[in-house]
Structure 1
Amino acid sequence: MADAQAVVWPQGSRLRIFAGACAIALSLGVVRFDFAALGRQMLESGWVDPQAIGRLAGLNLAGYVLGCLHHTRIRSSAAFRRVMALSLAVTVASLWLEALGLGSWWQGLWRVLAGWASGSLMAGVPGLALHGLSGHRRRRGTALVMVGAGLGTVVGAVAIGSLAPRSASMAWVVLAALASLLAIPVGWLLRRSAGAAASPPSRRSSEAAGLRGDLISAESVWASPALRFLSLGYLLMGASQVPVVLYEPLVVSHRFGVSPGLSSDSLSLLGVGCATGALLAASVPRSWPTRSLLALGSWVGLGGSVLFLLGRSLPVVAAATFLTGAWIWIMVTLTFDRLQELVPEAQHRATWAWLTALLGIGFMLFSFGCAQLATDHLDNVLLLGTAFMALHVVIELRQMQAD
């Protein structure tokens, strides 16, 4: 009976969670993860060379980081609503513009704009979607919102593989159309949450009067060893996921000579893993310490990275891709939950935006740094990613032991 009571959701929360999942599917699944599926078509069509794939992904992450950092500076509810609405519009518009294929300079610009918008959505939407939830329901709701990244990746990769297996321009059109559909419930969420996001005048006054105290509180929060290790682990997580998230279709195509459509479909395993990982993180009993689950989840990522490095058969590489996806969203879901244990509620949104930016910085630095190396020495990129993954495990173990 107690468990049945735990899954009773407040009125309207399920629709908000669904809309939040659509926002994450749009900002991460479609804008970021599905770009790996597009990389093969872009190479086949002569749009870019292999090292340009890393550069474009890096530019996207540069915009992503800017979006997260910008979000930490938002103070008023009116500015918050404007930025969120603009982010949604820019996300959809940038995908349609990328389908035009006007040139590498324009492609880079659209990637930056799409990254800025997706970073803003990732930083701001979870709080809106989970408004009014607490305790175990908030943890489960977090997982259901984050599942959107996996579902968006699956749907986008399958759509590209079946509808546009050899045409880069058509693949962009497919993703742009999918983004337009996902934007509908997200727009509803932003409109529905406008009143909830607005702070009463008395609260705004108290926030303005206590701004200096909030800054001091933030400094004391970041003094926590556990939060510092959590942040460093998130940075390494961003770097070590690059080989699978970005280069998986190229690895599959180079090692096994499969068609572009099959290599795109194989990326859907990453999305299935993401969805599975988020649900798995939510299904464990609340009595299990989150700090221990984070350390345990890091080993899942290390196992996937080793299999991806050494795998010389399609089933092994497929298992590695699935495990990597599960690891990413186990860590994202549990990190969001762990913040509630380490950070006061007033600092939670800003801290989450900073952590999201750190993940993007790690991904961006690895993408830029290995762009040239990936052209002729892709296996070395995979080896370096495995080394970063091992360091990530060490940091998560230290996080578990910290206060």
Structure 2
Amino acid sequence: MSSAVRQRQGPLLVSGAIALLLGIGLGRYAFTPLIPSLVQAGWFSAEQTAELGAINLLGYLVGAATAHLMVRRLGPRAVIGGALAALTLSLLSCALPGGMIWYGPWRLIAGWAAATLTIVVTPIVMGRMPAARRPAASAIVFTGMGVGTITASLLVPLLAEAGIATTWIAVGVLGGVLAGWSWRAVWRHLPAGSAATNTQDGGSEPATPEPASWPVVTLIIVAYGLNSAGYVPHSLYWVDYIARELGRGLAVGNACWLALGVGGLLGPALGGYAAARLGFRAALIVAFLAMTAATALPLASSSLAALGVSSFMVGAMVPAIITLTAGTVVEIAPADRRQQIWGWATLSFAVAQTLGGFGMSALYASADSYRATIALGALLLCLGAGCVITAAVLGRQRTSPATR
């Protein structure tokens, strides 16, 4: 490959990572480390912050359900530009203390923009990469989630001392600068129609030699959804749980959130390494088991070591499971149904996360403890692990000589 081609691909990869950094890192998770400050300042009660987290998940669900239709009608250039603008505006608007009536819609919009950017940008980047570079490109793009989480964990606590409004304005300005650069560098040059997602290397994907049965596909989709619901306690309540419920203070809570972000940064690479050594499906089982254990660990011990390990491992396994599930879908799905099945998996992720967000918000209000939500999250992940193990067993039975 010529150096000129690699130079053109560089801004595309960086812009793809920025899209996930903005959507997931800032649009969704900049709110989490600010929850204690919002409660202490009297902007919201703890129950209201949990509801706002669930509203953000609802926005993610709406984005997952509408992104493909919007691209078909408006084209990817308009959809990406609209999502970047809406996300930046939502961050800046949260600087105003307007209560639930004001915050709710903006958190909904932030969730919509996060899902839309994730669903629309990723296939555009992958479609413009030569087949040999797609694994590395995928790791770079998904690393944006971890970088965004780390940015939020470092920036938000420092700015919170200057005030909540100052924090949101700074985060919004940062988001606007990154969105503006990626728009000028890449997204404004996209064709207006669906041709933006076409493969540019002229290659074709090899057909799946023996696609799995639909029960196997269904189990993988269900497991992917259970993973998203099981992650809700760490993604929404983790800092507040450590800082207030455990009484360890905001500094420890933010340090654990940083560890979660570091894990998220390394997760795609860990998933790729495991897949190269074990295969996608075996690595997916290992990732689910590791995530289940890491989520349940704080129930057994609230020591700093346990909290740190739980933070890092959960942060790492979330993007690892995303990467491994995508690879598993490519392996088991018929070649002409891969995109559709990945869409179903994404929708499963969003629906389960939304239901989990509202359900765990109600559970917290009833139990008055985040431990109950953590226990439920671990249970859901255990069920997800059971699904991927069952899928692997069914897959082996289908491909064994006795069943051919």
TM range (shorter): 0.7 to 0.9
In 1, the alpha carbon distance for the partners of 2:394 and 2:132 equals 24
**1:387 maps to what in 2?**
379
Is 1:401 the counterpart of 2:403? The answer is no
**2:189 maps to what in 1?**
192
1:151 to 147, 172, 186: 147
Choose 142-151 or 49-58, whichever is displaced more: 49-58
What do residues 8-33 of structure 1 show as CA deviations (whole Å, max 9, x unaligned)? 98452232111101100111111112
1:23 to 14, 19, 22: 19
Q: Superposition RMSD on alpha carbons, in Å? A: 2.6
**Structure 2: stretches of 5+ with no match in the other structure:** 198-210, 396-404
1:381 Cα shift?
1.5
**1:45 maps to what in 2?**
41
Choose 64-73 or 167-176, whichever is displaced more: 167-176
What do residues 230-284 of structure 1 show as CA deviations (whole Å, max 9, x unaligned)? 1101110111011111111112113543443542343121111111111112234
* Amino acid across the alignment from 2:369: H
Task: Evaluate the alpha carbon distance shift between residue 340 and residue 14 of structure 1 in structure 2; reply closer, same or farther with a 3 A threshold.
Answer: farther
Task: Evaluate the alpha carbon distance shift between residue 10 and residue 343 of structure 1 in structure 2; reply closer, same or farther with a 3 A threshold.
Answer: farther
**2:206 maps to what in 1?**
none
**2:207 maps to what in 1?**
none
Q: For the Cα contact (< 8 Å) 1:308–1:321, is it kept in 2?
A: no
1:349 Cα shift?
4.1
**1:206 maps to what in 2?**
none
Q: For the Cα contact (< 8 Å) 2:268–2:323, is it kept in 1?
A: yes
1:288 to 275, 278, 283: 278
* Amino acid across the alignment from 1:324: V
1:71 Cα shift?
1.7
Pairing 1:115-264 to 2, within 5 Å after superposition: 115-165=111-161, 167-187=163-183, 188-194=185-191, 197-198=194-195, 224-264=214-254
The two structures have a TM-score, normalised by structure 1, of 0.86
Bigger relative CO (Cα 8 Å, ≥ 6 apart)? 1
Q: For the Cα contact (< 8 Å) 1:253–1:260, is it kept in 2?
A: yes
1:319 to 309, 322, 334: 309
1:180 Cα shift?
1.5
Task: Evaluate the alpha carbon distance shift between residue 11 and residue 23 of structure 1 in structure 2; reply closer, same or farther with a 3 A threshold.
Answer: same
In 2, the alpha carbon distance for the partners of 1:340 and 1:328 equals 19
Choose 245-254 or 342-351, whichever is displaced more: 342-351
**1:217 maps to what in 2?**
none
Is 1:270 the counterpart of 2:267? The answer is no
Choose 332-341 or 221-230, whichever is displaced more: 221-230
Q: For the Cα contact (< 8 Å) 2:75–2:194, is it kept in 1?
A: no
**1:305 maps to what in 2?**
295
Is 1:56 the counterpart of 2:52? The answer is yes
DSSP 3-state at the match of 1:328: helix
DSSP 3-state at the match of 1:47: coil
Choose 174-183 or 98-107, whichever is displaced more: 174-183
In 1, the alpha carbon distance for the partners of 2:382 and 2:274 equals 25
Q: For the Cα contact (< 8 Å) 1:91–1:114, is it kept in 2?
A: yes
What do residues 351-395 of structure 1 show as CA deviations (whole Å, max 9, x unaligned)? 433322221221221221121332413221211111112111111
2:91 to 76, 95, 98: 95
